[in-house]
Amino acid sequence: MSTIPLDYETLRLIWWLLLGILLIGFAVMGGRDLGVGALLPFAARTDAERRVLLNVIGPTWEGNQVWLILGGGAIFAAFPPLYAVSFSGFYLAMIVILLALILRPVGFKFRGKIEDRRWRTAWDWGLFIGGFVPALIMGVAVGNVLLGAPFYLDDTMRIFYTGNFFQLLTPFALLAGLVSLGMIVTQGAAVIVGRTEGPTAERARLYGTWSGLATMALFALGGVWVASMDGHVITSVIDPHAPINPLGKTVELARGGWLSNFGAYPWMIAAPALGLAGLAIAVLGLRTRRGLLALAGSSAGIIGIVSTAGLSLFPFLLPSSTVPQAGLTLWDASSSHLTLFVMLLMTVFFLPIIVLYTGWVFRVMRGTVSSDSLGKNPNAY
């Protein structure tokens, strides 16, 4: 592999960063749509108001799912053991998320087929579920990663999952789920305030303000909780160039272990600071009816919160609560040197195209959406 210009350690770090970028991309971009969906029955009271919200996110929500697909693909190709454990162990949770997400395209297409209040209200609640459930369960999943997933590996590297769906619903995991839901709702409220007007924007402003404040409090509470819980710490020597072998290390549990990275690298404190500061800016933007400021703040808050979780876990990708030694890390759960390099070349080519196209679409679709504008558009939902 001497012909590859980047060494194995560097490629592993690059793909850890890229995975984080893809997950943040979905949280920021997909969070716009999930947040608007979660607010749909509450911020909009009449059929006309709800149609406005559907058309705020209708032209772009499908494109925003690209970040979720890329994230799943990156896990599959760059970290196969992580894909095998998480997608099989959390199978039921992922099915629930997928079923909720399926309600969105179906709701968009079928809601306007019949001019009946009960029919449309039923689909409105379906769209609410499509936004609320994924935002909550994805946060619960992150909380369970910090707690450790119940799995172990035998001597032949076969994976055995020892938990079930309901064991995932622990108090700390539900707290993480509420943080996720709160930041997504704040993001959705910022979008509504920035692109609508009248009573709908005012209601979204109120809900977004409260969700932003609640998320700040819950995020801070989560930090205190993490400081008092056991974290996984690798106590053996790490060889970042070695072939994958999750069982080739020793791991111990230490009180507050998930905060050890912040002590070793003080610059990492910028992540939780960004999370809190971004949410504060979002609340300020909502209070002053400045949608662009609110959206920038809520997006920064999401980046900070997701980055905090990733930096806390580093180098772990998925710790094991059953056998800590079996926890998957960046150094022992990645694909081969050549695979990571080839994937990086493809990413360097395609990712800028996706970013440029996304920016172009949002530029074309910019502006305020109102009932009057919908009346002039025969393709509106």
Taking the C-alpha atoms of residue 188 and residue 208, their distance in angstroms, rounded to an integer, is 8
pLDDT recorded at residue 112? 84
Residue 345 amino acid letter: L
Three-state secondary structure of 173-223? HHHHHHHHHHHHHHHHHHHHHHHCCCHHHHHHHHHHHHHHHHHHHHHHHHH
CA distances from 163 to 86, 87, 149, 204 (A): 12, 13, 8, 39
Place of tokens 């716009």: 32
CA distances from 140 to 143, 144, 173 (A): 5, 6, 5
CA distances from 371 to 3, 95, 368, 380 (A): 60, 36, 10, 10
Backbone φ/ψ region at 289: left (φ over 0), alpha (ψ -120 to 50), beta: left
Taking the C-alpha atoms of residue 292 and residue 362, their distance in angstroms, rounded to an integer, is 13
- In Å, how far from its chain's centre is CA 280? 20
pLDDT in tens, the chain (381 residues): 457 888 999 999 999 999 999 999 999 999 999 999 999 999 999 988 999 999 899 888 888 888 988 898 999 999 999 998 888 878 888 899 999 999 998 998 898 888 888 999 999 999 999 999 999 999 999 999 999 999 888 888 888 888 777 788 899 999 999 999 999 999 999 999 999 989 999 999 999 999 999 999 999 999 999 999 999 999 998 888 888 888 888 999 999 899 999 989 999 999 999 999 999 999 999 999 999 999 999 999 999 999 999 999 999 999 999 999 999 999 989 999 999 999 999 999 999 998 999 889 888 888 888 777 777 776 677
Phi, psi (rounded to 5 degrees) for 248: -90, 30
- Asked if 303 and 131 touch (Cβ cutoff 8 Å), the reply is no
Place of tokens 């095998």: 84
Residue 76 amino acid letter: F
Phi, psi (rounded to 5 degrees) for 149: -85, 145
pLDDT recorded at residue 362? 87
Helix axes 31-43, 117-147, angle to 10 degrees: 130
Place of tokens 């094991």: 320
Any residues with CB less than 8 A from the CB of 313 and at least 6 apart, and which? 145, 146, 258, 319
- Retrieve residue 47's tokens: 């059929």
- DSSP 8-state assignment for residue 329: E
pLDDT recorded at residue 2? 54
CA distances from 277 to 178, 282, 301, 355 (A): 19, 9, 7, 26
Burial of 59 (0-12, 13-18, 19+ CB in 10 A): middle
Taking the C-alpha atoms of residue 282 and residue 324, their distance in angstroms, rounded to an integer, is 39
Backbone Cα Rg of the chain: 21
pLDDT recorded at residue 1? 43
Cα–Cα nearest to 234, from 335, 332, 337 = 332
pLDDT recorded at residue 91? 84
Phi, psi (rounded to 5 degrees) for 22: -65, -40
Specify the DSSP element, H or E, that contains 172.
helix 171-195
Partnered with residue 149 across adjacent β-strands are: 320
